[in-house]
Amino acid sequence: MDIEGLGYRTVHSLLELDLIQDPADIYTLTEDDLMQVEGFGEISVTNLLSAIDASKHQPLARLIFGLGIDHVGSTVAAQLARRFGSLGALMAASADEIAEIDGIGPEIAGSVATWAGEIENRDLVDRLEKAGVSLVDEVEASSVPQNLDGVTVVITGSLEGFTRDSAKEAVLERGGKVTGSVSSKTSALIAGEKAGSKLVKAESVGVPVLDEAGFQRLLDEGPWF
């Protein structure tokens, strides 16, 4: 669920202590529960409870990704969030409706629709809502210009002002796509330090290469190349 301080080891400990069974149980944890976890003291417990509370209002895409639906990575989760706007609308969508999203094929669409149709998953979503987790995208789409619609980029190397995830999210929320390999369909390569073989490939097939300043201009203005 992308909760700061809730890493693999802590989740494993919570499962072993039978304090959680699924993501919704995370939101029922108490101070007494967490004090049972090895290595946890008052400060770490307070910090984790604060992080859990803050995660109730995270972007819808992160919630969808955190549900662990087969074949749904961060990029697909962002596409689903942008298309449907709420988890309820996504749960009600048919496989055909989901497959209408550009870049999402029948396998992914079928996986999402199957997940949404299972009783235990509907119960999970109900319990998340009762725990106060927001099931809608609270960021208005109109607040971010959709100036990268139809643009596909590859991000490689390290950027000074962006993490890999934040760079990807910046593209997705403007309607663009991020893929992992350069092809003739790539609109631009965003090349940070130590760009490596993807930079060589982009130059060989004539794909525009943008440094970090160019990437920021792309986000602000849309494509000019």
- The predicted-structure confidence for 60-73, as pLDDT tens digits, reads as follows 998 999 999 999 98
The pLDDT score that the predictor gives to residue 139 is 59
What's the start-to-end Cα distance of the chain, in Å? 38
Distances (CA, A) of 106 to 73, 76, 100, 113, 152: 15, 13, 9, 10, 21
Query: Is the pTM above the cut of 0.75?
Result: no
| Sign of the four-CA dihedral 60, 63, 69, 74 | positive
* pLDDT over 50 at 142, yes or no: no
Widest CA span in the chain: 59
pLDDT digits 0-9 by tens, 25-38: 999 999 999 999 99
Domains of the chain are: 8-57 (no CATH), 60-130 (1.10.150.20), 144-221 (3.40.50.10190)
CA 62 to chain centre: 4
- Which of 148-152, 154-158, 213-217 has the lowest average pLDDT? 148-152
Distances (CA, A) of 210 to 176, 193, 196, 203: 15, 12, 14, 11
- Which of 28-37, 139-148, 178-187 has the lowest average pLDDT? 139-148
